[in-house]
Amino acid sequence: MRPLTRIFGLRSRVLLGILIAGGWAAWQLQLDFHELLPSNRWDTARDFFHAALSPAIVYEDPTPPGTQPLLAKVAKGIWQTICFAMTAISMAIVGGVLLGFLSSSAWWEDDPVRDTNWLRQLLRNLINPTIVWLTRTFVVLIRSIHELLWAILFLSAMGLNTLTAILAIAVPYTGYFAKVFSEIIDETPRDAAYAIRELGGSPFNVFFFGLLPRALPDITAYACYRFECALRSSAVMGFFGIPTIGYYLRPAFDEQHFHEVWTYLYALILLIVIVDRWSDLLRRRITQ
């Protein structure tokens, strides 16, 4: 008889392992799928999904005169969501590029023929690897904490304001960018970079004109994708009291104004779809 390992390849074994682990974990959690059926809250669920068919255009309850119209509030919330995400992403890209370069091995690659005095030896064997290690550790630290946790940390440490809300997104995103940028750079073919080194280019010229232009399409594509994620994060930050779309969504939820809730949700979905289309178009233009 053939051994089991021959019948099931590595991939099917991994897949099987994941499924078994998933089943075991569900059993550990005493998962009960009956909970999906909202026994006592059928009405709420029905109202909620029913409201999806008729999102509100005006407030469901009468409002005092002079209140901002609902759609104006939606527009303002969406605009704020974009502003927060945009600011956070811009900060994260700057930080991510900086840390990404420092933690990529291509940045530190040395010309093997360069003179070998003691200073260069010290740099090559001790100082450069130490900087890389420190940078990579720092990157792991900041990206292992989710943006919502960062928000809670900032909230308890110095109160959540516009700046700390932006930082709550920008800090972990810097980590994501640094990791992915450094990987993209290190996976970029280096032949053109070596060619520039061989015609006498300085290390800066080699990196920025031989390597980076080739990595740029992938870097831009990833930044676009992350902007989409940042929009969602920024929307959720509203639940912490930042005036993004989530800020208006929450009271509508609390008061069970489901038609209004759907107006906000549709606006958010529309925004994400538009950004997705736009980044797709951009990606195709730069990578074609």
Partner 1 sequence: MTSHEFELENVTVRFPSVTALDSISLTIGTGEQIALVGPSGSGKTTLLRLFNGTIRPSSGCVRVRQVDTRELSSMKLRQLRSQIGFVHQDLSLVPNLNVLQNVLSGRMGRESFSQSLRMMLLPIQSETANVHKLLERVGIEDKLFARTDRLSGGQQQRVAIARALYQQPEAILADEPVSSVDPARAKDTIGLLTKICRDDNLTMCVSLHNLDLARKFFPRLIGLREGAIVFDRQTSELDDDEFHRLYQLTEEEMLSDKVES
Query: Where do contacts with partner 1 occur on this chain (CB under 8 A)?
Result: 111, 113-115, 191-192, 194-202, 204-205, 208-210, 213-214, 216-217
Question: Of 117 and 156, which CB lies nearer to partner 1 in the complex structure?
Answer: 117
Question: Of 83 and 212, which CB lies nearer to partner 1 in the complex structure?
Answer: 212
How far apart are CB 211 and partner 1 at their closest, in Å? Answer: 9
> Of how many residues is the chain composed?
288
Question: Of 50 and 114, which CB lies nearer to partner 1 in the complex structure?
Answer: 114
Closest to 247 in 3D by CA, of 235, 259, 255, 257: 235
How far apart are CB 286 and partner 1 at their closest, in Å? Answer: 8
Question: Of 1 and 113, which CB lies nearer to partner 1 in the complex structure?
Answer: 113
- Quick one: how far is CA 271 from the chain centroid? 16
Alpha-carbon distance 169 to 89, whole Å? 8
Q: Is 91 exposed, middle or buried (0-12, 13-18, 19+ CB in 10 A)?
A: middle
Contacts (Cβ under 8 Å, ≥6 apart) of 240: 151, 152, 155, 160, 165
How far apart are CB 185 and partner 1 at their closest, in Å? Answer: 14
- Determine what percent of the chain falls in helix, strand and coil, rounding each to the nearest 5: 80, 0, 20
Q: Where are the alpha helices (DSSP H) in 8-69?
A: 10-28, 42-51
How far apart are CB 49 and partner 1 at their closest, in Å? Answer: 47
How far apart are CB 208 and partner 1 at their closest, in Å? Answer: 7
Question: Of 114 and 277, which CB lies nearer to partner 1 in the complex structure?
Answer: 114
Other Cβ atoms closer than 10 A to 17: 10
